[in-house]
Chain A
Amino acid sequence: MWRIRKFEEAVEDLFGRGMMHGTMHLSIGQEASPTGMCMAMTLQDQITSTHRGHGHCIAKGADLTRMIAELLGKKIGYCGGRGGSMHIADVETGNLGANGVVGGGLPIAAGAALASKMMNRGTVAVSFFGDGAMNEGAFHEAANMAAIWKLPMILFCENNGYGMSSSTAKAFAIDNLADRGKGYGIPGVNVDGNDVVAVYEVAQAAVDRAKAGEGPTLIIAETYRWKGHSRSDKNLYRTKEEIEEWRTKDPIPRFISRAIEAGLLNQEQCDAIQNDAIEAIKAAVNEAVKAESAEPSGLLDAVFKAVSA
């Protein structure tokens, strides 16, 4: 969680200095959800991610230098500078890619789960998405297909209360988003998205269900993003008090105090973990900044995969 937090803070800083092009969608405050979910997965299990996907990529094991390099438009970036923040994929860690289209990853994850079932691979496919995506047609079509074919898929919703500026109160006529599972005949599970242990438990249960061939699960993890939707967000749609309140539910100190109380870690160890994360991010940034910038030559050849004779 520290790695995700420090990574996002670093990105915020670098972007604020004008070193990163475009915009950034930060997930500060939401770290517990991807962490808990990915802890229940193996490297071969697959994920699809979102425009706010740095946390998913890191939790699934992505290389920090290559991530920063991509955001800086460098050759060694995950996409060679061609994709940017919203399109980072890492085949080796089962990451099928972040997606710039809301809901775009849901049918894709269903397809990956379908392939896993057809090939008897025994893996699961997790689609991360936000509350906003639940009103996209793609969510409906993917959920239904996963349900009727009992695909080994987990639909993991990071419900941070807002689809850009639309609050869930205004975008949904129901109060409990998990109730939508009933519409497809699949279990809908609520969990405190800022409690990493709770997320892990719910995730593991869903993974077990999927691998046992019982089909998909809809997980609604309640969480909150501290920063605006993107860098041009002035937070006109929510109040300072609301942001303040959620900051007190910061998943990281919550887990630290719980771990210390349970006698599993002491303060020193926790500090060391934080420092390791800081150092890791610093090293990644310093290395990425020095890397060669991506060049326009070769762009035409990059559109298609070459046909082998």
Chain B
Amino acid sequence: MLTMAEAVREAMSIAFDERPEVFLLGEDVGIYGGAFGVSGDMYHRYGADRVLDTPIAELGIVGAAVGAALSGMRPIVEIQFSDFTAQAMDQIANQAAKIHFMLGGALHVPMVLRTPQGSGTGAAAQHSQNLEPWFASVPGLKVVVPSNPADAKGLLLAAIDDPNPVIFLEHKLLYKIPGRDPVPEGSARIPLGVSKVVREGKDLTIVATGIMVNKSYEVAEKLAAEGISITLIDPRTISPLDMGPVFESVEKTGRLMVVQEGPAQAGFINEVIAQLAGSSSFGSLIAPIKRLAGMNIPIPYAPQLEKAAVPQIEDIEAAAREIVKNWR
């Protein structure tokens, strides 16, 4: 079964074959095969004309991608760690995100920015962030967070098709492992902006992003054996966000828990809570909404500290038990 890195590579290769205007640029994506091995052998298969090794210049790289996108190409730009998107923020947030709107639709930016995010590799504070809210809070960007290889392939193909700038946030810990489901053959797209109900239950609704989807799934499996049935929803695209299945599910279960890796304060998952709290589904709640998220700290280095900084399976399990037990 394909890993996340292989699934992403497969999607890029399919896109390369379908459209000559698709190309990849980034640091070490060519001969090296990508810092996390994602681009792999693409350099040898497609050549230096389509897989461009760039100097270390994130602002310039992303800006070049914007300019190329404005001129008829479909660039995929890889930023080696999502933390380094900070160097490129003018081109991401002030240029790419705003061009279609502020130019009155005269131009658009069909560009995908792929970048690994998240903690767990001991890379410490500047190489481990989850920056979902940075991008989700900028109108004009679409933001995708795949939780498994099968979704990653279909979502990336759709992102490359999309005429707008898409930020594609991959999790480092997922690169080298296969998912629960095999990656399908072929070139089917998974549309952006559609949430997925990963499993159905009646006692508790969990909405989780990225790597937290998989942790929550394990908890759901374990608790199902004890008679606690959990609905797990993976938004997949966090902006634009599809809340429909969340409203429906909360009306059935009456209990909502949201789980994200990034720090709790002003994190993306608060958007789910805000929308639910202002909706008519609010009247179906029989328990307060539970939020599990990272601590409001930079990611520490030592492994036990690194683990303590973000929700783990035990935390999700304990919270699920508590909410179902105390709120009947």
Across the interface, B59 reaches (CB within 8 A) one of A82, A137, A302, namely A137
Residues 141-173 of B at the A interface (beta carbon under 8 Å)? 142, 161-164
Roughly how many angstroms separate A145 CA and B68 CA in the complex, as a whole number? 13
A83 x B102 contact (CB < 8 A): yes
B99 x A97 contact (CB < 8 A): yes
B67 x A108 contact (CB < 8 A): yes
A111 x B69 contact (CB < 8 A): yes
Across the interface, A141 reaches (CB within 8 A) one of B60, B73, B108, B140, namely B60
Roughly how many angstroms separate A145 CA and B107 CA in the complex, as a whole number? 24
B103 x A112 contact (CB < 8 A): no
- Minimum C-beta distance from B281 to chain A (A): 23
B164 x A304 contact (CB < 8 A): yes
Chain B neighbourhood of A140, CB < 8 A: 57, 60
B105 interface residue per 8 A CB criterion: yes
Roughly how many angstroms separate A125 CA and B66 CA in the complex, as a whole number? 14
Roughly how many angstroms separate A108 CA and B55 CA in the complex, as a whole number? 16
Could you mark each residue 247-277 of chain A with 1 if its beta carbon is under 8 Å from any beta carbon of chain B, else 0? 0000000000000000000000000000000
Which one of B6-14, B89-97, B254-262 contacts A?
B89-97
Known A99-B95, A101-B90; judge A109-B103 contact (CB<8 A). no
B106 x A78 contact (CB < 8 A): yes
Known A141-B59, A148-B55; judge A119-B91 contact (CB<8 A). no
Known A82-B104, A99-B95; judge A145-B67 contact (CB<8 A). no
Chain B residue with Cβ nearest A125: B67
Chain A neighbourhood of B164, CB < 8 A: 304-305, 307
Q: How many residues of A contact B (CB 8 A)?
A: 49
B196 interface residue per 8 A CB criterion: no
Could you mark each residue 4-27 of chain B with 1 if its beta carbon is under 8 Å from any beta carbon of chain A, else 0? 000000000000000001010000
B104 x A83 contact (CB < 8 A): yes
A107 x B139 contact (CB < 8 A): no
A212 interface residue per 8 A CB criterion: no
Chain A neighbourhood of B59, CB < 8 A: 107, 137-138, 141
B101 interface residue per 8 A CB criterion: yes
A104 interface residue per 8 A CB criterion: yes
Across the interface, B67 reaches (CB within 8 A) one of A91, A111, A302, A305, namely A111
A96 x B72 contact (CB < 8 A): no
Known A46-B71, A107-B62; judge A91-B101 contact (CB<8 A). no
B91 x A80 contact (CB < 8 A): no
- Minimum C-beta distance from B18 to chain A (A): 15
Across the interface, B103 reaches (CB within 8 A) one of A89, A111, A116, A145, namely A89
Roughly how many angstroms separate A304 CA and B109 CA in the complex, as a whole number? 10
B63 x A83 contact (CB < 8 A): no
Chain B neighbourhood of A36, CB < 8 A: none
A284 interface residue per 8 A CB criterion: no
Chain B neighbourhood of A307, CB < 8 A: 161-164, 192
Residues 101-148 of A at the B interface (beta carbon under 8 Å)? 101, 104, 106-116, 118-119, 125, 137-138, 140-142, 144-145, 148
Chain A neighbourhood of B90, CB < 8 A: 101, 104, 138
Across the interface, A80 reaches (CB within 8 A) one of B54, B57, B60, B104, namely B104
A101 x B95 contact (CB < 8 A): yes
- Minimum C-beta distance from B189 to chain A (A): 10
A118 x B70 contact (CB < 8 A): no
Across the interface, B57 reaches (CB within 8 A) one of A96, A108, A119, A145, namely A145
Could you mark each residue 138-174 of chain A with 1 if its beta carbon is under 8 Å from any beta carbon of chain B, else 0? 1011101100100000000000000000000000000
A29 interface residue per 8 A CB criterion: no
A145 x B95 contact (CB < 8 A): no
Roughly how many angstroms separate A48 CA and B66 CA in the complex, as a whole number? 12
Chain B residue with Cβ nearest A299: B101
A119 x B73 contact (CB < 8 A): yes
B140 x A111 contact (CB < 8 A): no
Roughly how many angstroms separate A74 CA and B140 CA in the complex, as a whole number? 22
A77 interface residue per 8 A CB criterion: yes
A78 x B104 contact (CB < 8 A): yes
A79 interface residue per 8 A CB criterion: yes
A195 interface residue per 8 A CB criterion: no
Chain B neighbourhood of A77, CB < 8 A: 104
A110 x B67 contact (CB < 8 A): yes
A236 interface residue per 8 A CB criterion: no
Roughly how many angstroms separate A48 CA and B163 CA in the complex, as a whole number? 21
- Minimum C-beta distance from A295 to chain B (A): 13
Chain A residue with Cβ nearest B90: A101
Could you mark each residue 79-90 of chain A with 1 if its beta carbon is under 8 Å from any beta carbon of chain B, else 0? 111111001011
Known A97-B99, A141-B57; judge A110-B63 contact (CB<8 A). yes
B64 interface residue per 8 A CB criterion: yes
Which 7 pairs across A and B sit closest by C-beta, in order of nearness?
A107-B63, A111-B67, A141-B60, A79-B104, A111-B64, A80-B104, A115-B71
A sample of 14 cross-chain residue pairs with beta-carbon separation below 8 angstroms, ordered by A number, consists of: A99-B95, A101-B95, A106-B63, A107-B64, A108-B67, A109-B67, A110-B67, A140-B60, A141-B55, A144-B55, A145-B57, A303-B100, A305-B105, A307-B192
Besides A82-B102, A118-B23, 11 new A-B residue pairs in contact (Cβ under 8 A), listed by A number: A89-B103, A90-B106, A99-B95, A111-B64, A112-B70, A116-B71, A118-B73, A141-B55, A141-B57, A142-B60, A304-B163
